[in-house]
Structure 1
Amino acid sequence: MQSQPPAVPDPGPTAHDVTLCAEALRAALAAHGITLPSLRVDLPSFAGSYRPPAGLIALGNCNLATARRLAEVLRKAAEG
């Protein structure tokens, strides 16, 4: 009987992976006329207590008009 090598834990997304995700989200929103200057990679989330490190994307600090437009676009996209 052969023993299995120990499982290697998933290292989670890299800063590059999360940056690409944020850029893709920024481009998708821009295609709908939405610009969120605060959309960025939250680099401290890589050093946090998330296991594996999660690499969060900060999406906030947008004004009311942008938030309403984003909600409208996402609602229409969900409707098909």
Structure 2
Amino acid sequence: MPTADPLSEAANAVRELNESLAACGITLPSLRIDLPSCGFSATPRPLVELGRCNLETARRLTLVLREAAR
């Protein structure tokens, strides 16, 4: 459920994505909130940093996404 605080909302999105990926046997070690995108504006719009992953993780993620698209 969305909150009024964009940073909290982003933290929840990161947590939920991490949990969903883990349920599929996938770990993105650099998954986090991109703090520079939070900025100091009146309306912060945080981004989620997916980061880098090894080839095995990329292939597993591709497989899971293809299966989900069916």
Smaller-chain TM-score bracket = 0.7 to 0.9
Offset of 1:53 from its aligned partner?
Answer: 2.8
- What residue is the counterpart of 1:65 in the other structure? 56
Query: 1 CA distance for matches of 2:56 and 2:5?
Result: 32
Task: Give the superposed CA RMSD.
Answer: 2.0
TM-score, length basis structure 2: 0.83
With the length of structure 1 as denominator, give the TM-score of the two structures. 0.74
Superposed, 1:1-80 pairs within 5 Å as 14-47=6-39, 52-79=43-70
Listed as ranges, the gaps of 5+ residues in structure 1 are: 1-11
Cα distance change of structure 1 residues 72 and 14 upon mapping to structure 2, 3 Å threshold: same
Task: Give the fraction of aligned pairs with identical amino acids, expressed as a percent.
Answer: 51
After superposition, the Cα gap between the structure-2 partners of 1:66 and 1:54, relative to the gap in structure 1 and judged at 3 Å, is same
Q: Decide which structure has greater helix share.
A: 2
Task: List alignment gaps of at least 5 residues for structure 2.
Answer: none
Q: Which amino acid aligns with 2:24?
A: H
Size of the aligned set, in residue pairs, is 67
Runs of 4+ in 1 over 6 A off after TM superposition: none
**Distance in structure 2 (CA, Å) of the matches to 1:54 and 1:72:** 30
Asked whether the equivalents of residues 26 and 35 of structure 1 are also in contact (C-alpha less than 8 Å), the reply is: yes
